[in-house]
Structure 1
Amino acid sequence: MSGAPGASGRRPSRLWPYLAPHRGALLAVMGLSLVSSAAALAQPLLVQRTLGAASGGSGLGTALALLVGVVVAAAALEGVQRYLLQRTAEGVVLMARRTLVETLLRLPVGEFDRRRTGDLISRVGADTTLLRSVVTGGLVDLGSGVVVALGAVVLMASIDPPLLVVTLLSVGAGVVAVATVSRRVRHLSGRAQQAVGAMTASVERALTAVRTIRAARAEEREAAQIGRSAAAAYEAGLRVARLESLAVPLANVAMQAALLSVLGYGSARVASGAVDVADLVAFVLYLLLFVQPMAQALQAYTTFQAGLGALARIEEVRALPTEPQAGPAAVRRPVPVGPAHRPALAFENVDFDYPDGTPVLRGVSLDIPRGFRVALVGPSGAGKSTLLALAERFYEPTAGAVRLHGVDARELPLAVLRGQLGYVEQDAPALAGSLRDNLLLGAPGADDAALLRVLDAVNLCGLVHRTPQGLDAQVGDGGVLLSGGERQRLAIARVLLAAPPLLLLDEPTASLDARNEAALAEAIDSVSVNRTVLVVAHRLSTIVRSDLIVVLEEGRVVARGTHAELVDASPLYRELAGRQLLV
């Protein structure tokens, strides 16, 4: 779970990158707002003129028609303004979601190790949605409210300055109180969004492991835990609601006090002859014009503060460093192959520690010759899978270097490096969608014949004929409609389709039965021709024919050789092989 949003994310200026692409629409909205504000300010004058015409007995029809025309025009302008505003707000939300998703997909893998997926999902959904209210109920309403209020103040001053003083004293106290409350709303809104993120993370955790939870009869315990997260979000939301509910009555009380003060003091001034009835009516109408936008502006300020709290959480993620992205020219750059004696992949005195300082690898030096099949074996936790992750640059070594064809991997654009490597992780997931979608992930231009060929290579053609949909058959969320072995073979087929020169296979046969293990071993044999393969395996039966077997223990290379050589020379390998009846 991440910490509290940083102060930099709360600055209103951080909104500008989201608003800049829509500045034309915003200027149009503000222009319409000014025109409709002018129309609203003209209405009391037209009422005053209509009353004068009615008492004078001439020009009433013209004055009344002009008043109705201005009212209708103001309503039409407001409708157009609201549509443009809503469209702009949706555009802001769309841009925020796109940029946030792009950032999330490019974060270093280590960031996902430290953060909860559900909280990140909440930022894409709930937090970005709050930006809509910043635009619709914040910026423009705040601006137009201030414009109308200032215009009303000027016109009230022209009618009767003493009445204006009474008005400003009554309203000023309410403005100060609401502003004080609204500043607190920003902080509490950020806390509330954090609580929603924690609840979303709890739901995501439970739904991902729903079969395990049911098998363990833990539904009630998990529901209680999610309920506690939901209760925390509820309490955080209530704290925001209490403050927001306080802000609105404060504003209303101030406005009502101003209206009552004006009516009382204004009646006394009419009685004394200082002002006439028409002037008082015009002043009261301007007061209403002043009160309504001021209340609107104060409420918009509170909404704006809540939106800034959500913006802080979005900006917290966007400020994280992402993996470097190369331009098209760099991606097309060929990988330097170098002399034939250089290994396809090399680890040079590599150390790697977890972020908490726990050592994983120490001084690992290993060459993977071109065209060789090299196997990594050893006890769990020896660092085998970590070597593959370092080759893919999911993590950077604490010390030492990883080289591809003699070139430091850090000097290559990630797209170039990963284009040379076909990586199949342990328990590789299937993406929700069809067989075709999963296969085309790494080779979007492949035709159906190529798809069927790689499926046949891993003994998965039966999936195509299982349903009438063929290659368009759905695999379910996370591949739930496939067996564990089918998911693993589908992942290998996906990599084979991309035809990279180096294959990195992490426990490719872990989920397979004996028959499919043998079929997959044959497929790996066939694709290993003219290709380098680095495979991690606990089941040694799949790697006994490897050109080189490397034994790791506690993050160090302790032996290397062929199966026969290691059975004689390595006690650890002999023990591992003996347990699997291979000696």
Structure 2
Amino acid sequence: MLSLVSAAAALAQPALVGQVIGAVGSGGAVLPGVLALVVVLVAASVLGAGQQYLLQRTAEGVVLSTRRLLTDRLLRLPVAEYDRRRTGDLMSRVGSDTTLLRATVTSGVVELAGSVVVGVGALVAMALVDAWLLLVTVVAVGVGVTTAVLASRRVRTLSRQAQEQVGAMSAAVERALSAVRTIRASGATEREVATVGVSAERAFTAGVQVARLQALVSPLGSIAVQGAFLAVLGLGGYRVATGSIAVADLVSFILYLFLLVMPLGQLIGSYTQLQTGLGALARVQEVLALEPEHDDVPERPAAGGAVAVLRTPRAGDPVPLLELDGVGFGYPDGTPVLRGVSFAVPAGSRTALVGPSGAGKSTVLALVEGFYPLLEGSVRWAGTDVRELPRAALRARMGYVEQEAPVLAGTVRENLTLAAPDAGDDRLWQALADVGLTGVVRRSPRGLDVAVGDDGVLLSGGERQRLAIARSLLSRPALLLLDEPTASLDARNEGLLRDTLAAAAADRALLVVAHRLSTVIDSDQIVVLDGGRVVAVGTHDELVDSSPLYRELATAQLLV
């Protein structure tokens, strides 16, 4: 609205100037016209300032809402999407792509509307002054504008390509920074700098292509405007000399021509900027179009359409807490990982998954957590297919510690309360004591508020592992999934953690993936996987006698 009112104020100025010139020529009163012109000028300036503020604020609001929406979708995508995409590219969509939307709002749509109003108003006023001068103006300007608009159409495609190259560069930087210590220790710094440099050069080349096309558009508009101005001066001077129009009318027409020129330049620039923004918007919409995980909705309805009841059996219940029945799975590249995997985890028991690398042990935990869709068979919780249960409610009953034991940048407190935001200090300290981290945290006067660094870099590998386990224990899960929990622990802390897990198993079930058999030697049952199949199930002593593969693993670790 302010843009339209501002346009009207701009259109009134040439008419008032013409009136003042006419009054001077006729000897009439000049002061009223001058005062009216001053009022219109001041009003236009105030309205313009207000418009720019609201425009910038609106643009920031658009960027904020888009970033929130995009971040929400990124954090809810199925895990398989993260396997297919590069983290740096996804980050660039939240950063640089959404930033381009700000320019689209501030220099695009709204200014485009205001420019159209001023341009149309100027054309109408020019037609009222002199039709022949208008005809010359329209012909000269029309040729230039048509050429510029046709050239601008290519901007959207080139802009999207440029943003994709920026995303690739961000991914290359993220890759290098995430492994900077390994790169430095491997003497690969120069090679990684060169790799990122190649990505940067590709982004530069794509950006230059956009700049080249945008630079081509501006001169076309300028040539059209200058040609129109020269033609109006020549023809207008002739018509004044012949008495066809008055000098005041020619001055008004020229001022209207200036009014037309300004929005015309804005129109071409806004159109080009709009094409750039639409290229970025396409990348944002590509992510928003991806189907997210629906935590509160079952993957499929229960029989008869009834809502499945999520219950948790206790120790001694004849129905197992978790059961895998003929589970088969393969990754998108077609490589099969699991083939007909079947076993049960009774409530309050300890079950271990062992086997050579690549046997599918970690994949079993990922399927139990619902990170990937099942291809064959079923996973049942207390007798109910997990696809009939709300995913969020099911995950709330499970704790999961990944093999890499991720620690979030922040403090010890923030990491511990990730799954238990209402836990008090007493519970936090008890969880730390359970995994032998109390002394480590008390070394700092900040206690629970001590920083752990980016990705937990200020902690050792073992300390990160134990912090992740403490975080999972705090949520008091009915089933605790542990992927290589002792991979980074020394013998002393492994023994401490084994005692902790034994105590934890008193009121919850454990499903533990382990290469180090000493961690799980006293499990209630050990499931041996090989080539994606279950080849043996039993206790340590039973498997030493019955399973050649398990006996080989145990012998290699001096457990037989």
- Give the equivalent residue in structure 2 for 1:63: 33
- 1:529 and 2:499 matched: no
In the alignment, which residue of structure 2 is the partner of 1:221? 191
| Percent sequence identity over aligned pairs | 60
What SS does the corresponding residue of 1:505 show, helix, strand or coil?
strand
Count of matched residue positions in the alignment of Structure 1 and Structure 2: 551
Deviations 1:311-336 (A, max 9, x none): 000000111111013279x9x99623
Matched, 1:210 2:188: no
* Contact 1:345/1:404 (8 A) holds in 2: yes
Q: 1:56 offset after TM fit, Å? A: 2.5
Amino acid at match of 1:336: R
In structure 2, do the counterparts of structure 1 residues 327 and 375 end up closer, same or farther at CA, with 3 Å as the change threshold?
Answer: closer
* 1:429 equivalent in structure 2: 406
1:378-457, aligned counterparts within 5 Å?
A: 378-457=355-434
State the partner residue of 2:319: 342
- CA separation in 2, counterparts of 1:206 and 1:364? 38
Q: Distance in 2 between matches of 1:257 and 1:468?
A: 75
What is the one-letter code of the residue matched to 2:283? R
What is the TM-score normalised by the length of structure 1?
0.93
Partner amino acid, structure 1, of 2:508: R
Q: Does residue 1:37 correspond to 2:21, yes or no?
A: no
Distance, in Å, in 1 between the alignment partners of 2:65 and 2:179 is 32
For the residue of structure 1 that corresponds to 2:75, the secondary structure is: helix
User: 2:106 aligns to what?
Assistant: 136
For 1:90-149, what per-residue CA distance to the aligned partner results, in whole angstroms no more than 9, with x for missing partners? 000001100000000000111111100000000000000000011110001111000000
Are 2:492 and 1:515 aligned?
yes
Structure 2: 5+ residue runs without aligned partners? 302-306
Alpha carbons of structure 1 residues 334 and 498: separation in structure 2 relative to 1, 3 Å: farther
Q: What's the offset of the Cα at 1:338?
A: 6.7
**2:304 is matched with which residue?**
none
Give SS of 2:341's match. strand
Helix, strand or coil for the counterpart of 1:365?
strand
Question: Does structure 1 residue 76 correspond to structure 2 residue 51?
Answer: no
**Structure 1 stretch displaced more, 71-80 or 174-183:** 174-183
CA positional deviation for 1:55: 2.0
2:84 matches 1:107: no
Alignment partner, residue 60 of structure 2 = 90
What's the secondary structure of 1:106's corresponding residue? coil
Q: Following the alignment from structure 1 to structure 2, what is the Cα–Cα distance between the partners of residues 342 and 396?
A: 24
Q: Deviations over 1:358-405 (max 9, x none)?
A: 000001111111111000000000001100000000011111111111
Distance 2:558 2:319 in 1: 36
Task: Give the 3 Å change call, closer, same or farther, for CA 524–337 of structure 1 in structure 2.
Answer: closer
Question: Whole-Å Cα distance in 2 between the matches of residues 541 and 327 of structure 1?
Answer: 40
Aligned to 1:561: 538
Q: Any gaps of 5 or more consecutive residues in structure 1?
A: 1-30
Which letter does structure 1 place at the counterpart of 2:451?
Answer: Q
Q: What is the distance in 1 between the residues matched to 2:312 and 2:450? A: 40
Partner in structure 2 of residue 575 of structure 1: 552
- After the TM superposition, which residues 344-383 of structure 1 pair with which residues of structure 2 at under 5 Å, given as runs? 344-383=321-360
Give the partner amino acid of 1:370: A
The reply to whether residue 268 of structure 1 matches residue 268 of structure 2 is no
AA in 2 matched with 1:437: E
Q: Aligned letter for 1:369? A: P
Deviation, structure 1 residue 463: 2.4
Do structure 1's residue 496 and structure 2's residue 473 form an aligned pair? yes
Structure 1 residue 251 displacement after superposition? 0.8
TM-score w.r.t. the length of structure 2 is 0.97
Q: Which residue of 2 aligns with 1:313?
A: 283
Query: Is the 2:350–2:511 contact (alpha carbons within 8 Å) kept by the matching residues of 1?
Result: yes
The equivalent of 1:27 in structure 2 is none
* Deviations 1:295-351 (CA, angstroms, capped at 9, x unpaired): 1111100000000000000000111111013279x9x99623479211100111000
Distance 2:404 2:86 in 1: 20
1:146 corresponds in structure 2 to 116
**Cα distance in 2 between the residues matched to 1:569 and 1:256:** 94
Separation in 1, partners of 2:111, 2:404: 52
Aligned partner (choices 104, 128, 144) of residue 158 of structure 1: 128
CA shift at 1:569, angstroms? Answer: 0.5
Pair 1:197 & 2:167 matched? yes
| Distance of 2:65 and 2:440 partners within structure 1 | 39
Q: State the distance in 1 between where 2:271 and 2:184 align.
A: 47
Q: Find the aligned partners of 1:396 and 1:341 in 2 and give their Cα distance.
A: 27
Cα separation, 1, equivalents of 2:176 and 2:313: 50
User: Which amino acid in structure 2 is aligned with residue 569 of structure 1?
Assistant: S
In the alignment, which residue of structure 2 is the partner of 1:53? 23
Name the CA distance, whole Å, in 2 between partners of 1:533 and 1:516.
19
Correspondence for 2:445:
468
Q: Tell me the CA shift for residue 180 of structure 1.
A: 0.8
**2: CA distance between counterparts of 1:448 and 1:286?**
73
SS of the equivalent of 1:396 reads coil
Q: Determine the C-alpha separation between the residues in 1 that align with 2:112 and 2:359.
A: 61
Q: 1:183 to 1:377 in 2, by over 3 A?
A: same
Q: Distance in 2 between matches of 1:431 and 1:215?
A: 24
Q: Which amino acid aligns with 2:224?
A: A
Structure 2 SS opposite 1:402: strand
The answer to whether the 8 A contact 1:385-1:536 is kept is yes
Letter of the 1:97 partner, please give it. R
Give me the whole-angstrom Cα distance separating, in 2, the residues matched to 1:571 and 1:206.
Answer: 43
